Chains A and B, each alone.
Chain A
Amino acid sequence: MATVTLNRAEKTYANGFKALHGIDLEIGDGEFTVLVGPSGCGKSTLLRMIAGLEGISSGEIKIDDRVVNNVAPADRDIAMVFQNYALYPHMTNYANMAYGLKNRGYSKVEIDTRVRDAAKILQLDDYLERKPQQLSGGQRQRVAMGRAIVREPKVFLFDEPLSNLDAKLRVDMRLEIKNLQQRLGITSVYVTHDQVEAMTLADRLIVMNAGIAEQIGTPIEIYEKPASLFVASFIGSPSMNFLDGKVADDKSHVVLGDGSKIDLDHVIDAGRDLVVGVRPEHFTLKADGSGALKARVRMIESLGAETLIYLEFGEKNENVTLRMQGTHQFDKGQELSLATSANLVHLFDKDSGKRL
């Protein structure tokens, strides 16, 4: 049971590269926080700084009310699950889980109870005497989680724990992690580049880009109100459509490159250049041709439950993606008429990329 607080946490490497530009963050007790971002955005560095595996260049990291900047990793009362499991290959799974407890001076009886309890939760009872190499990837990751939960730490840290697993197992383990975290109620920080994991696991999501936290919020807040072009393009799959436009003189709509009009529901200076963002699922098809945007079909991907239609419009062949429920059939080059509603449209400043 703990909170994690970061005050202007910065990381500059010896070669002068600045990995983190001052992160402010407060993680509440029992909260599941997910750090998401493309590779090189600093999310793993941030996690490793909380763990104590990386030093902090300036600022402050607190676990509960204790500043842990210079506290050894083993004394921070945190447990970490690594991407490639990082199990001790020469020890049995039992010994792997017991190792941290043994070094902290727990009694044999206490260790045994805790390891067996964790094994039961993780369905590892039958594998305790085996060594990690004799297990499958999913089982190994469960042992790694067991090693974390037996410690009953203040904070769980997960560094892309599911990246090495195959797609189906990843979905199962994702549910298992969520379940376990809710059951144990331990404050958790989870790093991933997978936005599905990020959306499904997070109580609070932190989207990182180039060493800064671009947006912090619940997954739904971030999906519905992305703070910048970067966040808008990173969250949501397929990615949001971005269309360049200019606000019309009467301020009622935006004019796109090909002259089509998209209605506005808030007031913006006339003549201003901006980027209009529309998610692929927020376009609707108008069979009667009354839609604002006319686009030609370029390619179709049928996924069964939904269909992704890639289109292009205007003279510059700008790309638009449309997502529809169920299966649909169109001819290549066929012209479709798309409509959207003003409250589903996202507007971004063309220069700063910030949401308007």
Chain B
Amino acid sequence: MKRVQFGHSPVPYFFIAPQILIIAIFFLWPAAQAVYQSFLLEDAFGLSSQFVGFRNFADVLASGAWLQSAIFTAVFSFLVAFFSIAISLFLAVRADEVIRGAKSYKTLLMWGYAVAPPVAGLLGNMLFNPLMGDLYKLFNSFGFEFNHIQNAGDAAFVVTLIAVWKQVSVNFIFFLSGLQGIPKAVTEAATLDCKSAERRFWTITFPLLAPTTFFLMVINLTYAFFETFGIIDVSTKGSPGGSTATLVYKVYVDGFLGADMGSSSAQSVLLMIMVSVLTVFQFRFIERKVHY
């Protein structure tokens, strides 16, 4: 059979060229650079470098600091994703039930979306400032002996709180639209079939929100991995003792502050691999349970 050939016009390429260019310059090129650099060792002044194979990787994996950061990142990401999804789901379900003043509630809950991560970090910084921070004073007035400057657990709590707060509004918007996507008749049919509202939520509403929840899980984990950089940099800067440094933050500290480009590049390559594996895992094993 003869294949039909249409005349190719160059116009489509012209239209996608800017996007391709942006991806190439700001993503593909730096990524390639990182992979290349991860095999090099520079001298202390950055004047010369030599090929060292996988030595940077071996050093990174053998160092306790990297492992500590990896564990912190895993726990931090899980907590951020879990709490920001749980809280926003609760708020969305409640806001969806409100009849009077629904618009005001929804708008107020969405406002947080407009706050940039560094600004959120700054807000957190002020709220937890030992001299004037209201939350700092509040916690201590309960006798918690809260001190995030010295105590690693408290510092982790601060960054997690800020990161969750920042993400709740984003998730809220998605959950609210997800809830509005459930046909009204289905909800009504359920009220005839099941008296308990709580049971109805877990057997009907939640399964129907599964695609939204899965999507949010993927983007929230990505958020916790990468975008919390701004929050951490403004609030704790990874202190005390690197205990609140996520892998991304450590890449930045080692590479740009410590000027160890080889190790920093190796870490970012490892991070890339980890995120890819995580994403594949999510789609392979969790998405199966999702009904679209």
Contact = CB atoms under 8 A, between A and B. Distances in A.
Given A99-B203, A103-B195, A103-B196, A88 B190 contact: yes
Contacts of B196: 103
Contacts of A103: 193-196, 199
Contact of A100 (B183, B192, B207, B210): B192
Given A99-B203, A103-B199, A86 B193 contact: no
A103 B207 CA distance: 17
Interface in B194-236: 194-196, 199, 203-204, 207-208, 210
Interface string A73-112: 1110011101111111110000000011001000000000
B291 A53 contact: no
Contacts of B131: none
Interface in B114-160: none
Contacts of A299: none
B97 interface: no
A277 B241 CA distance: 94
Interface residues of B, number: 19
Contacts of B203: 99
Contacts of B107: none
A51 interface: yes
B193 A82 contact: no
Contact of B191 (A74, A83, A85): A74
B195 A86 contact: no
A196 interface: no
Contacts of B291: 89-90
Contacts of A84: 183, 185
A72 B186 contact: no
Contacts of A83: 185
B188 A86 contact: yes
A72 B199 CA distance: 15
Given A88-B204, A90-B207, A90-B291, A80 B194 contact: no
12 contacts: A52-B192, A72-B195, A73-B192, A75-B195, A82-B189, A86-B183, A88-B186, A88-B190, A90-B210, A90-B291, A99-B190, A99-B203
Interface in A106-147: 147
A99 B188 contact: no
Contacts of B189: 80, 82, 86-88, 147
Contacts of A99: 190, 193-194, 203
Closest A-B pairs by Cβ, 3 of them: A86-B185, A100-B193, A74-B195
A84 B189 CA distance: 11
Interface string B279-291: 0000000000001
Given A89-B208, A99-B203, A79 B183 contact: no
Interface of B: 183, 185-186, 188-196, 199, 203-204, 207-208, 210, 291
Contacts of B210: 90
Nearest to B187: A86
A80 to B, nearest CB: 6
A197 B206 CA distance: 37
B192 A79 contact: yes
A51 B190 CA distance: 12
A44 B185 CA distance: 13
A207 to B, nearest CB: 25
Interface in A4-55: 51-53
B25 to A, nearest CB: 44
Contacts of A82: 185, 188-189
A73 to B, nearest CB: 5
Nearest to B193: A100
Contacts of A51: 192
Contact of B192 (A80, A88, A89): A80
A85 B183 CA distance: 11
B10 to A, nearest CB: 42
A78 B195 CA distance: 13
Contact of A73 (B191, B204, B207): B191
A339 B207 CA distance: 66
Nearest to A53: B188
B84 to A, nearest CB: 24
A75 to B, nearest CB: 6
A147 B190 CA distance: 11
B101 to A, nearest CB: 13
B193 A74 contact: yes
Contact of A90 (B185, B193, B194, B208): B208
A200 to B, nearest CB: 25
Given A89-B291, A90-B207, A74 B183 contact: no
Contacts of A147: 189, 193
B198 to A, nearest CB: 12
